[in-house]
Amino acid sequence: MTLIDTIRKVNKEGKVCFVAYIVAGDPDIHTSYKILESLSKNRVDIIELGIPFSDPISDGPTIQKASERALRNKVNISNALNMVKKFRLNYKTPIIIFGYFNPFLQYGLKKVMQDIKKVGAEGVLIVDLPPEEAFETQQAANHAELELVYLLAPTSTQERIDLVSRLSNSFIYLVSVTGVTGVREKIDKNLRNIIAKIKKKTKKPVCVGFGISKPVHVNQLKKVCNGIVIGSAIIKIIEANLSRKERIIGQISNFVSKIKKATFI
């Protein structure tokens, strides 16, 4: 099922779509794969699988450290795709491959899109790819029949909103704050207005991420957006249990269950 169709199906069931982010290979390949399984078993709607990168400029300290741990494990695009291939033998949860442009470019844009499709992922998000420079990447994604997810921010101009609305063949990812990823205490009060502004321009689903970490945040957003994305809060659980990895799966499962309950509108 496509990403857009998944989000619409979840919305029709009276829920906001729950998108969960993890970094491939954090804290190690084996545990990372078990986390992937756990997210699916606990009914996360879509999974973003991050490709570790040495200079993750959009990420806060939590995800930066996760990338560093994965890089120490020598995890790259090929390792991440092998995880997806293995996962697809037993699980159908849609997957977005999330990363920075340079590793995709080095791999080869056409080849990476084809290989992402072959292993069974549904979409790609390249966090540092401006839509104005995305023509070649969008062509490669279209050719591979993948969805390419674009980002908008609270500071996005009307021209940028118009461009992303036209280009996107997937949902639109609205960054909830200016700045990097990370857990925050409060959700921006102006977010409702920004979502409404985007929805005037497109019928594509809008999912909100960066800073969402608690059921209360989900409750604040679920009636105005189509999906919520949570990453740093999950990775903090990994970080807190590096010396006792056997606890990670159980704690992530408990956290995901609480978020899932909050998604009902």
Active-site annotation holds for 48: yes
Do the Cβ atoms of 231 and 21 come closer than 8 Å?
Answer: yes
With a CB cutoff of 8 Å and minimum separation 6, the contacts of 239 are 62, 65, 66
Q: What whole-number distance in Å separates Cα of residue 168 and Cα of residue 92?
A: 23
Active-site annotation holds for 59: yes
Residue 238, helix vs strand vs coil: helix
Phi, psi torsion values for 180, nearest 5 degrees: -100, 175
Structure tokens at 94: 């849609």
Q: What residues form DSSP beta bridges with 91?
A: none
Q: Which of 112, 123, 119 is nearest to 150 (CA)?
A: 123
| Active-site residue, selected from the candidate residues 13, 26, 55, 59 | 59
Give DSSP secondary structure letters for 208-220.
EESS--SHHHHHH
Q: What whole-number distance in Å separates Cα of residue 107 and Cα of residue 98?
A: 14
| Active-site residue, selected from the candidate residues 48, 115, 122, 147 | 48
Just list the catalytic residues: 48, 59
